[in-house]
Amino acid sequence: MRPSAVTGAVLVAAVLLLVAIRDGHCAQLCMDSTFPRTINGSLSFCGYNGTSCCNATDDAAVQKQFAAMNISGTPCGDIVKNILCARCNPYAGELFTVTTTTRTVPLLCSTTGVSSRLSTKPAAAATTDYCLQVWDTCKDVRIPGSPFQAPKGGAAAPKLTDVWQSVSEFCGALGGSGKSPCLDGEGAAFNDTRPALPVNGMCLERIGNGSYLNMAAHPDGSNRVFLSNQAGKVFLATVPAQGSGKTLQLDVATPFLDITDEVHFDNEFGLMGLAFHPDFATNGRFFVSYNCDKTKSASCAGRCACNSDVGCDPAKLGSENGAQPCQYQSVIAEYTANATSGTPATATSANPTEVRRIMTLGLPFRTHHGGQILFGPADGYMYFAMGDGGSVGDPWNFAQNKKSILGKIIRIDVNTMPSGNTTAGWGNYGIPKDNPSSADPSFAPEVFALGFKNPWRCSFDSGKPSYMYCADVGQAVYEEVDLIMKGGNYGWRVFEGTQPYTPQSTPGGNTSAASIDAIGPVMGYAHSSVNSNVGSASITGGYVYRSTVDPCLNGRYLYADLYAKSMWAGTESPEGSGLYNVTGLTFSCSKSSPIPCDVAAGSALPSLGYIFSFGEDNAKDVYLLTSKGVYRVVDPAECSYACPIKSSAPGASPPAGASPSSAVRARAPALATLLNCALLALLSLLSV
């Protein structure tokens, strides 16, 4: 390209930068043109978590406005609440200011071809006509203090039909025909997708030697994380700044919590899950999921998952490797930060006495117990990933039995404890009113989604909080990643991945493929494609990478095989389509790794041992938890991997106890985002 052409390209790039910002694709903006702020926990009414254009005061004002309308608990009320809360959306500046006229209602998606950034409908979001849904639901409802613009004026509590003649007129005024972004009922949606940056490899540094199954970012927003091992200990650790050359700081002799006396630790048993209440910084509540042996612990007592409710007789299960049916149990227990340590946010230890038993579930066999727990960022409910209970091929067909909670993603409310008669059958928790059982009573009330063999590591995308990914371990052919939607059936044991599966034994009966609307995996890999020393494969689910340290990984879902020979990165393209481009991911060790990486014999790749799990901290950096230590994704330049966008890794991490906004400022995302957008625009031109 000639110099004059380059100059012109730079000028056009500057224009494209302004367009990109105006489009909302690179810079999130609020209605007052400020950047969204990081919030601690989630907004109690509007539910936004992570970044939002509202603080708690704004959220309370929206709640007060909605309460005055007196339509709570109705279908129209749910829609109006969503519309009022759109002012808290990180893209509110675009949703409400698409014209020079001040709007009281965001632009409502009203055309096909709009791809959702925040949708729970993996394949159908692109065809959702949200404006039509609003009209059909609310057109005959009187709404005191209605937020809908009323071009004709009228009553104090108008119906939509009082101020618009037809849905065409309504959506012509409030709809997002051909415009971007718009509100699609789940979040901000866009009608185009930026091309992904090239990925040449993932660079790792080793910052710790311990072996852990779980990592949870400290809810106070600081540079601290909680790590738990399979034996039953939880540790509080401080994460070093990117590029500091320092290691993970934790005291293995002084765990935050030690419940090894309660935990049965063996192969697929142990402390399997760790989750901190969104309001932990103020209430100190946290939860662990573990396995126990009722022959060794008096507190290990619960119903057997094989029971008459699901057409299963424990007497017919027989013993397995000397163990009796339901000898082993899956437990979710609540603990609290040690009050003597000060406020929960500064506590360095937990009270070792269990506060409350949330759930105890007797396991029919010794394998496939899942066990991860996590809180939904948008709804604040607890999600529990539960395997099919074990044995080859799920012989009792638990995963397809809607009354069983085996082979399911469970969703429960740990803020609303039952009193008197309750539909919660397995412990102390409430049932979210919009669980699938509210529309289909054949579901056990706890069930959110079904058809899983052994979900091993789920996560919510911090950039698209309604996107929940779960990796499901296969039997002998295929490992899969599923994008979870409420009430979805993910096929096992009718299917393994996309292939029909024929079980060896069927005492629990069969489910036909024609009787279910099975949802196929969005990503995955065949066993035959994996280089494994053990001749098998087992998927480990990860995270969508949202850190600014490696811009070329941004927006990609990272996952791996347990046996550490293979990793992948997947990108939804176009956004909202449910279609993913997946590439194998080369990885290497940083030349300045604080702890030298082991190198596999005869290979330049670092030897990671087994990849047990992934983790994510408050800066959105991603970690690999392996049998050989804790690894962190770092600047690709540290491994001589080329990325056209420069890393914006910070020079220092926010201190322990820092506010969430401090964690955000340390990474300076707004400036980094703007610079990246400018470079993207220029790169697009130079490639023409």
CATH number at residue 585: 2.120.10.30
Angstrom distance (rounded) from CA 668 to CA 680:
18
Residue 12 lies in a domain: no
Q: Is residue 111 scored above 80 in pLDDT?
A: no
Same domain, 631 and 587: yes
Same domain, 100 and 231: no
Residue 3 lies in a domain: no
Same domain, 186 and 120: yes
Using the 3D structure, point to which of 190, 221, 239 is the last residue of a domain.
190
Using the 3D structure, point to which of 155, 190, 225 is the last residue of a domain.
190
Q: Is residue 244 scored above 60 in pLDDT?
A: yes
Residue 99 lies in a domain: yes
Q: Is residue 406 scored above 60 in pLDDT?
A: yes
Tally of domains within the chain: 2
Same domain, 119 and 251: no
Same domain, 283 and 170: no
Q: Comparing 466 with 277, which gets the higher pLDDT?
A: 277
pLDDT score for 112: 42
The predicted model gives 368-385 an average pLDDT of: 95
pLDDT score for 353: 95
The predicted model gives 371-398 an average pLDDT of: 95
Closest by CA to 620, choosing from 588, 649, 580, is 649
Angstrom distance (rounded) from CA 243 to CA 651:
7
Residue 653 lies in a domain: no
pLDDT score for 536: 78
Same domain, 138 and 226: no
Same domain, 158 and 217: no
pLDDT score for 153: 53
Residue 419 lies in a domain: yes
Same domain, 218 and 360: yes
pLDDT score for 180: 66
pLDDT score for 49: 80
- Supply the range of the domain harboring residue 137: 26-190
Same domain, 591 and 612: yes
Using the 3D structure, point to which of 156, 190, 224 is the last residue of a domain.
190
Q: Is residue 21 scored above 70 in pLDDT?
A: no
Same domain, 163 and 277: no
Buried-exposed string 304-317: b where 16+ CB fall within 10 A, e elsewhere: bbbbeebebebeeb
pLDDT score for 535: 63
Residue 319 lies in a domain: yes
- Mean pLDDT over each residue of the chain, to the nearest integer: 84
Q: What is 472-540 written as a DSSP string?
A: E--SSSEEEEEEE-TT-B--TTTEETTEE---S--TT----GGGS-BPPPSEEEEGGG---TTS---EE
Task: Note the pTM of the prediction, 2 decimals.
Answer: 0.73
Residue 5 lies in a domain: no
Same domain, 403 and 480: yes
Same domain, 410 and 484: yes
Task: Summarize pLDDT for 641-653 with one digit per residue, the tens.
Answer: 999 888 876 544 4
Instruction: Please report which confidence band the pLDDT of residue 324 belongs to, taking 50, 70 and 90 as the band edges.
Output: confident
pLDDT score for 7: 42
Residue 196 lies in a domain: no
